Amino acid sequence: MREQLAKILEILNPPYVTVRVLPLAAGLTTGLLGAFEVATLRDGGPDHAYIESAEEGLVTNRTQTVQALIVRWDALSNMAHPVDASREIIREVMSRYE
In tens, the pLDDT along 46-63 reads 999 999 988 999 999 999
Task: Calculate the average pLDDT of the chain.
Answer: 91
Range of the domain at 85: 1-21+81-98
In a shared domain, residues 31 and 73: yes
Q: How confident is the model at residue 33, as a pLDDT?
A: 83
Query: Max alpha carbon distance in the chain (Å)?
Result: 48
Cα gap 3→86, rounded to integer Å: 17
In a shared domain, residues 39 and 16: no
* 95 close to 9: Cβ distance less than 8 angstroms: no
If one counts every other C-beta atom within 10 angstroms of the C-beta of residue 30, the result is 15
In a shared domain, residues 10 and 30: no
